[in-house]
Amino acid sequence: MDVVPSPNFDARPENSKIKLIVIHGISLPPGEFGGGYIQAFFCNNLDSRAHEYFAEISHMRVSAHCLIERDGNIVQFVSFLDRAWHAGVSNWCAEENCNNFSIGIELEGTDELAYCDAQYLSLGHLVKSLQSQYADIEPESICGHNDIAPGRKTDPGPAFDWMRFKDNLVV
């Protein structure tokens, strides 16, 4: 696992328990992969002149705990013990601000294009490891960004195969 520290995090609220994993999908520019733009975005180094879309988002301060690239490589941006800024306005089981109690995992991809075999494999290993570290993460405590921010977010989208992912967890 590569580590690329993001400045976009803060401390979790006192006594908060990590009990949710949120799966996201991201590509920068939209629909394109590689190039290191996601890493630059999460580290506040995105060049707003490199692509017209970047001018719209380069001012944003966001992060995730991890990114799983198309080849399955995992990049960690924020310690799991800290609060990454990935969920935004969100609600899960009547609790608001999911950043307080969740781990955010980004998959390099889009809502419409199938995710890669290597990504499912890495995601399965990472989630199993997190579940062994954080006892409050139940199988039903793994969701998509769309589940905690319906109407505002669509990722990881219909291209993410939830059954394949869940089958991978039991193996």
Active site (catalytic) residues: 106
Is residue 33 within 8 A of residue 68, CB to CB? The reply is: no
| DSSP secondary structure letters along 149-164 | STTT--TT-TTS-HHH
- List phi, psi (to 5°) of 9: -160, 170
From residue 31, alpha-carbon distances to 16, 51, 111 in Å are 36, 13, 9
The residues near 150 (Cβ < 8 Å, ≥ 6 apart) are: none
In angstroms, the CA 42 to CA 171 distance is 32
Instruction: Give the pair of three-digit tokens for residue 13.
Output: 């609220």
* Strand spans (E) along 72-162: 74-76, 82-84, 91-92, 95-96, 102-108, 142-144
